[in-house]
A and B are shown apart, each in its own frame.
Chain A
């Protein structure tokens, strides 16, 4: 079989987790944590994105090379943002 078949249960559980994380991020936004709000919101966003990428986009079941391609996109984004911020945050 060319593609891995993910059980329906997994899809539903991932969706439930995504909805809970959405409720959580909105609830935590009403607290005043200063810059902590941004850290919390972005951490939850990363977890949600990983859930979508791993299960809905089958990265978890995919081939190593596919994961390398996915990681490459994130790695170049990381380079762009990190190097730019090294400049802007130290002026």
Chain B
């Protein structure tokens, strides 16, 4: 291991223990993130249970096509991130930089598509607040409750988007360091941990997509 560029910090017995510790620390952070998004998902579940018609109506205003496309983009970015970690494990610098850049580009693509969706929501008057201009024409659908769905939609997708932005920034940092040859087959913990973060953000979207876009009964 001595020639692999690994650095053993003094508080650890060996590299294996050091690796276990950093991985465990990242998973502890991700567990707090589960509850961070979990609170939002809980409020979503409570209000969807209370106002099923409005939530279904509001969900049908979103573009399933764009949502599906974005999910596919994010799943591809996760594959690319996994391939970046794989490259790092072999100390393959060019391959690592390539897949980091691909992951960043796919992340940016996701945010661009999301931005177009948000723009459409704004133009259609679905952004909650003073600009909200949806008027219901049926007694089954209360506009205030549609607004509630969009509050949750914007906070959930906004917070997820913020996580994506942070992820892209981290990947940018890693790309610069990777291209300077800072990582090696024995020293790539930052790549691995950022990978865990990136996949976690992907998992959050895996749940947001059906919750927000696929409420069902699209014929109604």
- Chain A residues proximal to chain B, CB less than 8 Å: 2-3, 5-6, 8, 11-12, 14-15, 18-19, 22, 25-26, 29-34, 37-38, 41-42, 44-45, 48-49, 52-53, 55-57, 62-63, 65-66, 69-70, 72-74, 76-77, 80-81, 84-85, 88-89
Say if the beta carbon of B152 comes within 8 Å of chain A: no
Cα distance A2–B207 when bound, in Å?
A: 32
Contacts of B68 on A, CB cut-off 8 Å? Answer: 22, 26
* 14 cross-chain CB contacts under 8 A: A2-B6, A2-B15, A3-B19, A12-B79, A22-B71, A22-B72, A22-B75, A32-B219, A37-B216, A38-B216, A41-B214, A52-B206, A74-B34, A76-B35
Whether B42 contacts A80 by the Cβ 8 Å rule is yes
Cα distance A62–B32 when bound, in Å?
A: 20
Residue in contact with A85 in the complex, picked from B38, B45, B192, CB distance below 8 Å:
B45
Say if the beta carbon of B217 comes within 8 Å of chain A: yes
Residue in contact with B38 in the complex, picked from A8, A22, A37, A80, CB distance below 8 Å:
A80
- Residues of B in contact (CB 8 Å), total 57
Cα distance A2–B18 when bound, in Å?
A: 9
Whether A44 contacts B210 by the Cβ 8 Å rule is yes
Whether B207 contacts A45 by the Cβ 8 Å rule is yes
Residue in contact with A33 in the complex, picked from B45, B75, B210, B216, CB distance below 8 Å:
B216
Cα distance A77–B215 when bound, in Å?
A: 22
B residues 16-57 in Cβ contact with A at 8 Å? 16, 18-20, 23-24, 27-28, 30-35, 38-39, 41-42, 45-46, 49-50
Say if the beta carbon of B101 comes within 8 Å of chain A: no
Closest 7 CB pairs of A and B: A37-B216, A73-B31, A41-B210, A73-B34, A2-B19, A69-B27, A15-B79
Whether A15 contacts B75 by the Cβ 8 Å rule is yes
Min C-beta distance of A40 to chain B, whole Å: 9
Question: A5-B86, A77-B35 are known contacts; what are 7 more A-B pairs with Cβ within 8 Å?
Answer: A2-B186, A22-B72, A29-B64, A32-B219, A34-B216, A73-B30, A81-B45
